[in-house]
Amino acid sequence: MTNLWLYFSSPKTFYPLAGKLIPVFSLLAIILIAIGLYMGFAVAPTDYKQGDSYRIIYIHVAAAWMSMFIYVVMAGWAAVGMIWNTKLSDMMAGSLAPTGAMFAFVALWTGALWGKPTWGTYWVWDARLTSELILLFLYVGFIALRSAIDDPRRAARASAVLAVVGVINVPIIYFSVRWWNTLHQGASVSPEMAPKMAATMLWAMFVMAMAFWMYTIAVVLARVRSEILERESSTEWVREILARQR
């Protein structure tokens, strides 16, 4: 098992493996998105209070979950890279960041769209939305630091430190924002979700989250592949691949 792990943790063996996995995960993502959207838009019942506008949560909630998961996974890869000094984990961390940032943005965007019909305003200083916004800032900082440093090895190591510091802070930020929200209760309406959600609604959300996972894996693998080509461009095997494609 460990040997297998080591075998695939070298860029040279990982590159073709990733190439084979991308279509699989892409296909899974498409199928799951189709199922999830069908469940969410056709099967799940209309909300008695909010009508059909609530249906955006199938994207909103799944995207918000993903944005948080991805940050933790990213920091995990960053830590692995720091401890064992493996190139591939650095690339994983770096490739996850743009997707995580995108999901954070999507969560905010759909949150605003959901807010307009529900509370009559695009933005409320709700605890969840606010911490999502700060999470987006954390992603932006990570991406900015990574791209500001020219040397790829230094960029990877520096941003790994930032990701680990960030992930320790994420729960503190989350809870501090919640407490801040309770202190200033009068200022905003907290958009609590209906306490009892129909089982189909939960299932639809879960399927959408899985679909986003599959999409994330496919995109990240593709990004890692191109980064491998870029960073290993001086090696023999990459030259062979490039020569074959010409």
Candidate ranges 3-11, 54-62, 108-116, 134-142; the one touching other proteins (CB under 8 A) = 134-142
Q: Is 212 exposed, middle or buried (0-12, 13-18, 19+ CB in 10 A)?
A: buried
Q: Compute the distance between CA of residue 74 and CA of residue 95 in angstroms, rounded to an integer.
A: 9
If one asks whether residue 73 binds other proteins (CB under 8 A), the answer comes out as no
- Name the residue with tokens 């960053």: 78
> ∠ CA 239-217-109 to the nearest 5 degrees?
120
If one asks whether residue 157 binds other proteins (CB under 8 A), the answer comes out as yes
Candidate ranges 12-20, 32-40, 67-75, 137-145; the one touching other proteins (CB under 8 A) = 137-145
**Of 202-241, which residues contact other proteins (CB under 8 A)?**
231, 233-234
CB 157 to other proteins: min, Å = 5
SS3 content of the chain, % helix, strand, coil (to 5): 85, 0, 15
Q: Compute the distance between CA of residue 62 and CA of residue 213 in angstroms, rounded to an integer.
A: 10
CB 180 to other proteins: min, Å = 4
CB 87 to other proteins: min, Å = 10
If one asks whether residue 173 binds other proteins (CB under 8 A), the answer comes out as yes
Cβ atoms of residues 35 and 43 within 8 Å:
no
Among 41, 154, 226, 237, indicate the residue that binds other proteins (CB under 8 A): 154
Cβ atoms of residues 158 and 78 within 8 Å:
no
If one asks whether residue 141 binds other proteins (CB under 8 A), the answer comes out as yes
- Enumerate binding residues for other proteins (CB under 8 A): 82, 134, 137-138, 140-141, 144-145, 148-154, 157-158, 161-162, 164-166, 168-169, 172-173, 176-177, 179-180, 183-184, 231, 233-234
